[in-house]
Chains A and B, each alone.
Chain A
C-alpha cells in the first residue's frame, strides 16, 4: 500500500525524490530541504496519497557525516504521516546542516507545532515560518541542544545552586538496596522452582511454559520446548555468573 505512495511521489516529483527505500512495510523517501514543504503538501493533498494524519516529526544526529570526503549535512529530519483512508504509512526524510533553516509544516498539520518545537529544543534545527519556535521541554536558561552527539554526556545545567553535600551521587543504593521488599519469591528461586518474577516474564525467558500451551505440545513449542530438564542453577538466573 505505502509502496504505491512512493511510486506516486516518484512519478510526480521525478529526480527531486532523491532516494526511496522499502523494508518490510517501512517506506521512506528522501528529499532536499528546499522541497520539504512542497512534497509534504503533496502527500497531504494528493487524492491517491491522502496522508491526512500527522504522526510525528523527529530528528537524528550524525555528526561524523560532515567529516567524510563528500560531506553530508549532519541532521536527518523525519516526518511520519499516515492516511486514515488507506491505512498507508510513509516517512519523509531530509538532511539539514547546523543553523540551516527548514520550512515548518505547521501550515499543513497543526500537530507539527509542538513536535517541531521539540526537535528545535533537542537538536537546534530551526523551522522557518513556525509560529512560536522556542524550547518546549528544557528551560529557557539551558544552553546547547542535549540530544546532539557533541553535547557532553555528563554536563548538567542546574537552575538552583547545589548544596554542598559531598559526592554528587548518593552511594548506598546497590542491588540489595534497590528494593528491599522485592516481589521475588527467593525461597522458591533458590530451590529451583518457579524461577520467574512473574509468569509472563518466565514464559519469555523460557523458564516455564505458558498456561495456554497443552503439556503434550510443549516439546515442539519454540520457547517452552527448550526448557532444560534440570532446573538452572540459582546463580544462572539474572545474567551474572
Chain B
C-alpha cells in the first residue's frame, strides 16, 4: 500500500471500492491449497498438470497439502470404489470451510465405464462437487480450463455444480454435422 501512495504523490490518497464478497472471492480463488485424492490413471494427467509445462502453480493452486485441515480444494482424481467412499466422505468432512471439490475425469464424475457393484457412480453421490472435468483422462489443458471455471465460480460465489463444456474443435464439429446429415439420409 505504501507503493500506491508514493505513485500518487505527496498529499494525495487513493482508494478502490468493491464488495466485500468480491474481495473475499478474489482472495480465495488465488490461494487454493489442493488436497490430491488420487486413485487411478487420471493421476498421470494430474501430475502433468502440476509439472513445469502446464504449471498449475501460476493459478495459485499448486501447493499440495496432504492434511485435509490445511486444504481448500479437493481434487478427486480417478475411480472411487464403494469401499473407498467412506474415506472420501470423511476426508471431505475434515476439510475446513470454505472447501471446493473438483471431480477429475469421467470415473470420478459419473463412474465412467465401471457400471457395476464396486464403483460409486459419480462422487457427487457422496460429497458435493463444484466442477466436473470430463475426459478419459482429461488432458492438462482441460484440467486448467476446469480450474479456471472453478476460480470464476469462487469469484462469483456460485456453488452450483458445473460441467466443463467440451472444447469446440472445428473439424470435429464439421464431422459431427456430416455424420448427423448422413444418418438423416439413411433414415429416409
Which chain A residues have a beta carbon within 8 Å of chain B's beta carbons?
138-139, 146, 151, 153, 155-160, 162-163, 165, 168-173, 176-181, 186-187, 189-190, 234-235
From A155, A165, A180, A187, give the contact of B124 (CB < 8 A). A165
User: Which residue of chain A lies nearest to B137 when distances are taken between CB atoms in the complex?
Assistant: A179
User: Which residue of chain A lies nearest to B103 when distances are taken between CB atoms in the complex?
Assistant: A170
**Minimum C-beta distance from A29 to chain B (A):** 33
Check B82–A157 contact: CB distance below 8 A.
yes
B residues 159-177 near A (Cβ < 8 Å) are: 163-164, 166-167, 169, 171-172, 174-176
Which of under 10, 10 to 19, 20 to 34, or 35 or more describes the interface residues of B?
35 or more
Check B117–A179 contact: CB distance below 8 A.
no
**Minimum C-beta distance from A159 to chain B (A):** 5
**Minimum C-beta distance from A237 to chain B (A):** 10
Q: Which residues of A contact B169 (CB under 8 A)?
A: 180, 186
Check B86–A180 contact: CB distance below 8 A.
no
B residues 127-171 near A (Cβ < 8 Å) are: 127-128, 132, 134-139, 141-142, 163-164, 166-167, 169, 171
Q: Which residues of A contact B164 (CB under 8 A)?
A: 180
Q: Which residues of B contact A158 (CB under 8 A)?
A: 82, 85, 120, 125
Question: Complex formed: what's the CA distance from A234 to B182 in Å?
Answer: 12
Check B126–A180 contact: CB distance below 8 A.
no
A-B residue pairs in contact (CB < 8 Å), sample of 23: A138-B83, A146-B117, A151-B117, A159-B85, A159-B86, A162-B126, A163-B127, A163-B128, A165-B122, A168-B125, A169-B111, A169-B115, A170-B110, A170-B122, A173-B110, A178-B134, A178-B136, A180-B166, A186-B169, A186-B172, A189-B171, A190-B174, A235-B178
* Known contacts A160-B86, A160-B89, A189-B175, then 10 further A-B pairs from the complex at CB < 8 Å, ordered by chain A residue: A138-B83, A138-B118, A153-B116, A169-B110, A169-B121, A170-B121, A170-B124, A173-B106, A180-B169, A181-B135
